[in-house]
Amino acid sequence: MTSSSTSTTPILPAPFNSESSEPLQLITQGAEALIYRTTFLTPDQFIALKYRPKKSYRHTILDARLTKARILAEARVLVRCRKEGVIVPSVLGLDWEEGWLACEWIAGRTVRVVLDEWLEKIENEANTSVGQVDEGDSVKGEAKTQLESLMDRVGRTVGRLHEIGVVHGDLTTSNLMLRQNRQREENMQLTVNDLDGEVVLIDFGLAMQSVQDEDRAVDLYVLERAFGSTHPQAEGLFKEVLRVYGESYNGAKIVLKRLEDVRMRGRKKSMLG
């Protein structure tokens, strides 16, 4: 998870309102919740704290019921994913009455950031190789191979999620983290290959348990649209995601066929406004 900004911290419930605790760093803010980076239980246990403040525009009892239902639903999905081998943050604690869910902090960068950096790198290196066709093709070929490896991991991760009967609900490259492998070379310096590492799914606030092919296809369609809108020059890479997804579990190819129907409805909706 990566930080984006800091902000004045609202009054939070214990144990996150203690002056002795790590200052909260606001990562992102949505309509329903705020995500902070802080510590929990021990000074070196960093977490992603999802806090759902009380909504004054909702009836008190309704707001409490919705908060409880949403926190428990997200926690249950995360626990199930961990049990079934899907790489997601572990749940460390929650309090539905106070409106918070504490999850493992994932050190790394979003797939969105990684893709943007690598696509820019490829373009810059290709431009400096103008007139040197062989060298330019070599740069593109090597980069494409590494990017396709990353797409393979994305396809397998999403496939495993769907195989266990969970759909994410907000599947974008911003909700896919790359937790990078750090290796120690002979000189004892830590090095990082930018495209190595585990793909970790985050932010399950809209997730649900479903084995419906339609729900799975919509999940893929959301991810496809994310590729098209945020990484238009890499839209072709999404074919690799779908190729690996189609081989990841029994029934995946049926979902890919249903994806065609979802695409068609999406096109008609765009045409009709």
Backbone angles phi, psi at 128, to 5 degrees: -75, -10
Beta-strand relationship, 176-179 and 190-192: unpaired
Give the CA diameter of the chain.
69
Tokens encoding 181 = 């492998």
* Dist. CA 270–CA 68, nearest whole Å: 36
**Between vectors from CA 163 to CA 157 and to CA 166, what angle results, nearest 5°?**
85
Are the CB atoms for 135 and 227 separated by under 8 Å? no
Tokens encoding 143 = 């980069």
* Dist. CA 41–CA 43, nearest whole Å: 7
Provide the strand spans (E) within the chain. 25-29, 34-40, 42-51, 91-95, 100-104, 109-110, 166-167, 176-179, 182-184, 190-192, 198-201, 208-209
Query: Which entry of 170, 203, 213, 219 is annotated as an active-site residue?
Result: 170
Distance from chain centroid for Cα 35: 14
* Dist. CA 160–CA 220, nearest whole Å: 13
Residue 137 known to be catalytic: no
| SS3 category, 199 | strand
Are the CB atoms for 87 and 200 separated by under 8 Å? yes
Residues labelled as active-site residues: 170
